[in-house]
Amino acid sequence: MSNILNYSIIGLEDYLISFESYCSPCEIQKFCKYGKTEPFSITINCGDLNRAKEKIKFDQLQKLQKKEDVSVTYEELIKKVKVNLQNIFSQIWKEKVKAQKEEIRCLDSRKIDSMLVAQQGQDWWQDFVTTMKEINQECEKIL
């Protein structure tokens, strides 16, 4: 069932990720709000994405400055800073997708077998990360 999610540009720095093709095979889909008036979708803003990356860089840089010798230059310190995009994507997933349990009952283990939810959630998550990587690359071109 795995498909790359559909995404489109809806503004200068905004992307819309649509889950339109998902969850249709789900047996309990008929009880979901999703898809009845408009497909479940989320908006990703490049500014928000870049601010999240900058916050992680800033936090790591502060920690490094405390540990490293004073003679280490800023350029050397910044080379040691690593941004884990997976953590940022995970936070977005948690806040914008998983939080919408009534919209997407197929990912709600209270409504359907938890083994099925886990498998479906894993498929969606993999596609979401792939899509977010593409959006992130586009955002880096913009900013």
**pLDDT tens-digit profile, the chain (143 residues):** 445 678 888 988 999 988 777 655 555 555 555 555 667 788 999 998 998 898 888 888 888 888 888 788 888 888 888 888 998 999 898 888 877 766 666 666 666 666 766 777 788 888 899 999 999 999 988 86
Query: Which pTM does this prediction carry?
Result: 0.75
Range of the domain at 123: 6-142
pLDDT at 75: 84
Q: In this structure, is the dihedral angle defined by the CA atoms of residues 37, 106, 128 and 22, taken in order, positive or negative?
A: negative
Q: 107 to each of 81, 83, 98, how far by Cα in Å? A: 35, 28, 7
> Is residue 1 assigned to a domain?
no
CA dist., res. 127 & res. 125, Å (int): 5
Number of domains in the chain: 1
- Residue with the two structure tokens 């009880």: 31
Identify which of 52, 32, 15, 53 has the alpha carbon closest to the alpha carbon of residue 102.
32
